[in-house]
Amino acid sequence: MAFEKKNGWMGGFIPWVLPALFILGWFLASRFEIVPSYLMPSPKQVGEAGILYAFGAPGEGPFAGRFWLDAWVSCGRVFAGFALAALFGVPLGVLSGRAESMQRFLSASINALRAVPGICWLPLAMVWFGIGYRTTLFLVALAAFFPIYINTAAGARQVSPLLFQAGAMMGVRRLRAVFAILLPGAMPNILTGLRLGLGISWAYLVLGELTGVPNGLGAVIMDARMMGRIDIIIVGIVLIALLGRTSDLMLSGLLRICFKSARRLT
Amino acid sequence: MTTQLKLLTGKREAGIVPTLEVTRLSKVFKTGEGPVTVLRDLDFTVGKGEFICVLGPSGCGKTTLLNLLAGFEKPSAGKALLNGRPIQGPGPDRCVVFQEDTLFPWLTVEENIAFGVNGVPKKEKQEKVLHFLDLVGLTPFQDYLPREISGGMKKRVSLARVLILQPQILLMDEPFGALDAQAREEMQDLLLSLWNQFHHTIVFITHDIDEAVALADRVLLMQKDPGAIAEETRVRLPRPRERTAASFQDYCKALYQSIKKPR
């Protein structure tokens, strides 16, 4: 708290260098027609498609104005799936990180399941849950569970036994020690696990939505592919990147607001 | 019968009531190569307000003794009584200052000191914490995190966070061992000045002869293989003690020779 690092204006500028260079390269490539525009439309075309997608009135085009509903639906799916994963991943991770018996009981099975690529669950999920919300939720929750569980377990395992001894001699034991010592001590790893889990949630969201649901950013990308609208595919990709990054910042920010340990240890 | 006798002798030796009574205390660890006796038949008492140093080479079971007294481990035989009650599990009546850094890294100096204080109204707690911050001279650093302060300051926090709980006995496991000579001496002086004010009962574990002579009313000298009390030395030096005085050095020499004596 006393020695917080502050970025100068250079620090705020540096993250934008790579995207700016990329857009410049893209612009030049389309300007001199190095890549045919039916494979890679110009930045201008994509920008216009994006504006129409976000702010156009319905009827101005097949995708006009759909963004808000798509984003709303997709965010809802991501957060529901992620919340489910966190709800199971954090407590089970803490248990298996601290209790050897739980670790023996869980870790072999979980690691075996983890080895299965998430996409393998898609056919089964479609049979079980049909096309749409529940399949997407299942895929997102399943995929996000593993990084949350594994990082939480690693974090819980690493909390020094001396800190528990110190707590015990000051009268803080058992359940109180879990909240006063274990969770704060494991917080950096829990935060990492949650961030990885949220990132992978977006990946599996698109997988779930590719199966043919009417709304959502993944659905838009799939529709655009069928209609040969490369510009909309790119718009979808960029928007998912932006939403993914925003949600990541919001997650970190929220944890930092709620927990001293997240604020001070990471 | 023996307990009564111990009580009486304890009284006669220290001139005060014993707080801690250790009777035939033993600890055996089971290892892959069979049982290892770490401590065998320890007998001693510590009077109320007495400052005891347990001095011994590494591997003589000093830390195991402290873990038994703190309740982190259970004795294999014998018992340890605190104010007549057997020690069972760790608790705030027997506070420990550890050799290692065990402050909570996500709490500030002030929050670390407040950690064990519970069941007290907020305002009273706040005042108490500020008082103990002041006692160890850390008021200007109350909002710092442990990683932002020096090793000596961390030890002050470790001391304050247990003194605030007013334990019946203070257990210190080579607390200043990792500090440089100057910081160590400063911490010894701070501890003594606090002890002069509050008369805590202290069991202080060390391998440093000078430290034992500077601090203790009584030095329990331990031997190893198996760990046991070899000798007991009462340090009859007036306080404050002058480390360079000839009488101080005589005690150091005598203890040094006792340690070297083949047993």
Taking only the tens place, the pLDDT of each residue in A186-221 is 999 999 999 999 999 999 998 898 887 889 999 999
- Mutation target for B interface from A3, A162, A170: give the one with most B CBs within 10 A: A170
Query: Is A64 within 8 Å of A52 (Cβ atoms)?
Result: yes
Distance CA A147, CA A201 (A): 11
According to DSSP, residue A40 is labeled S
Distance CA A126, CA A134 (A): 9
Q: How does residue B147 score in pLDDT terms, banded at 50, 70 and 90? A: very high
Q: What is the mean pLDDT of residues A26-51?
A: 90
Would you kindly state where each structural domain of chain A is located, as residue ranges?
Answer: 66-265
Strand B202-206 with B51-55, pairing: parallel
Q: Which residues of A touch B104 (CB under 8 A)?
A: 163, 166, 181, 184-185
Give the DSSP per-residue string, A174-239. HHHHIIIIIHHHHHHHHHHHHHHHHHHHHHHHHHHHTTT-SSSHHHHHHHHHHTT-HHHHHHHHHH
| Mean pLDDT, rounded, of chain A | 92
Using the predicted structure, report yes or no on whether residue A225 has a pLDDT greater than 80. yes
pLDDT tens across B213-257, in order? 999 999 999 998 889 999 999 999 999 999 999 999 999 999 999
Query: From B161, which residue of chain A is nearest by alpha-carbon distance?
Result: A170
Identify the pLDDT of residue B250. 96
Right CATH for A66-265 from 1.10.3720.10, 3.30.230.10, 1.10.260.40, 1.10.10.2120: 1.10.3720.10
The answer to whether residue A184 neighbours chain B at the CB level (below 8 Å) is yes
% pLDDT > 70, chain B: 94
Other Cβ atoms closer than 10 A to A9: 7
Contact B145 A2 (CB under 8 A): yes
Using the predicted structure, report yes or no on whether residue A59 has a pLDDT greater than 90. no
Residues belonging to chain A = 266
Phi (first) and psi of residue A62, to 5 degrees:
-65, -25
Q: What is the mean pLDDT of residues B120-133?
A: 96
Checking phi first, is residue B37 left (phi over 0); if not, alpha (psi -120 to 50) or beta? beta
Identify the pLDDT of residue B187. 96
Distance CA B98, CA A162 (A): 9
Query: From B119, which residue of chain A is nearest by alpha-carbon distance?
Result: A171
CA angle B82, B83, B87 (to 5 degrees): 25
Query: From A4, which residue of chain B is nearest by alpha-carbon distance?
Result: B148
Distance CA B211, CA A24 (A): 70
Q: What is the mean pLDDT of residues A72-85?
A: 96
The answer to whether residue A237 neighbours chain B at the CB level (below 8 Å) is no
Identify the pLDDT of residue A8. 66
Using the predicted structure, report yes or no on whether residue A124 has a pLDDT greater than 80. yes
CA angle A215, A221, A225 (to 5 degrees): 125
Q: How does residue B26 score in pLDDT terms, banded at 50, 70 and 90? A: very high
Phi (first) and psi of residue B145, to 5 degrees:
-90, 155
Buried b (16+ CB within 10 A) or exposed e, B119-144: eeeeeeeeeebeebbebbebeebbeb
Identify the pLDDT of residue B10. 41
Distance CA A23, CA A20 (A): 5
The answer to whether residue A189 neighbours chain B at the CB level (below 8 Å) is no
Query: Is A266 within 8 Å of B106 (Cβ atoms)?
Result: no
Query: Is A143 within 8 Å of A203 (Cβ atoms)?
Result: yes
pLDDT tens across A151-188, in order? 999 999 999 999 999 999 999 988 999 999 999 999 99
- Mutation target for B interface from A5, A169, A265: give the one with most B CBs within 10 A: A169
Other Cβ atoms closer than 10 A to B70: 23
Distance CA B47, CA B11 (A): 8
Q: Which residues of A touch B100 (CB under 8 A)?
A: 162
Using the predicted structure, report yes or no on whether residue A112 has a pLDDT greater than 80. yes
Q: How does residue B134 score in pLDDT terms, banded at 50, 70 and 90? A: very high
User: Chain B residues contacting A, CB < 8 Å?
Assistant: 70-72, 89-92, 94-96, 98, 100, 102, 104-108, 111, 115-116, 118, 143-145, 148, 161-162, 165
Distance from CA of A93 to the nearest CA of B (A): 21
| Mean pLDDT, rounded, of chain B | 91
Chain A and chain B share a number of CB contacts under 8 A equal to 71
